[in-house]
Amino acid sequence: MSAGVLRRGLAMAAATLLLACSPALNWREVPLGGASVMLPCKPDQAQRTVAMGGRDVVLSMAGCEAAGALFAVSHVQGGSAAHAATLLAEWRAASLQAMRSSTATELPAPAGAGRAPALFLAAQGQRPDGTVVQARLAWWLVGDVVFHMAVYADRLTPEMSETLVSEPRRS
């Protein structure tokens, strides 16, 4: 075997090892709604006005795809703590309906979840094309702001949802 072939083989092996060590989920802090949330990829951000809780609210969103999953974080101003609780309940129902979920289970708060009022769900449903999708969904009340965090994938892993569902931190 020539030295050139050996060097090329070693270079290819080194490149393969470097790629294998690249994390598919590269978590980073993302500012959203006066708080910081964690996402595993550089997100696209958008805003739109939606009808929620009997009034129009501005929905701010950030989302990205990594490791075969869609990660999304969004928030709305609740106006008051009572109205925020109404928004949370309506948002939960709309999220499950959008994914045609027939199976949703309320989960206990994860370790280190903090003290903000929150709701955690595991759900299974269908995408618009009819394929099965699994989801971890979380809603947080931080003051009068309602945050929604979600990860959708064919098959979820703990790494995909553990960091995502951590409590938003005020900026």
pLDDT in tens, 92-115: 999 999 999 977 999 887 665 566
pLDDT tens digits along 142-152: 777 888 999 99
Architecture of domain 25-170: 3-Layer(aba) Sandwich (3.40)
Radius of gyration of the chain (CA): 20
Read off the pLDDT of residues 16-73 as tens digits, 9 standing for 90 and up: 333 334 467 898 988 887 888 889 999 999 999 999 888 899 999 999 999 999 999 9
The per-residue pLDDT for 163 is: 72
Domains of the chain, by residue range, sit at: 25-170
- The confidence score (pLDDT) of residue 171 equals 63
What span, in angstroms and rounded, lies between the C-alpha atoms of 48 and 74?
A: 11
- Listing from the earlier edge strand, what are the strands of the sheet with 145-153? 44-52, 55-66, 69-77, 145-153, 132-142, 118-126, 103-107
pLDDT in the model for residue 21:
40
Q: How far apart are CA 85 and CA 145, in angstroms?
A: 10
pTM, 2 dp: 0.79
Residue recorded with tokens 């618009």:
128
Cα–Cα distances in angstroms (integers) from residue 71 to residues 11, 17, 26, 108, in the given order = 34, 27, 12, 21
User: Please, what is the average pLDDT of the chain?
Assistant: 81
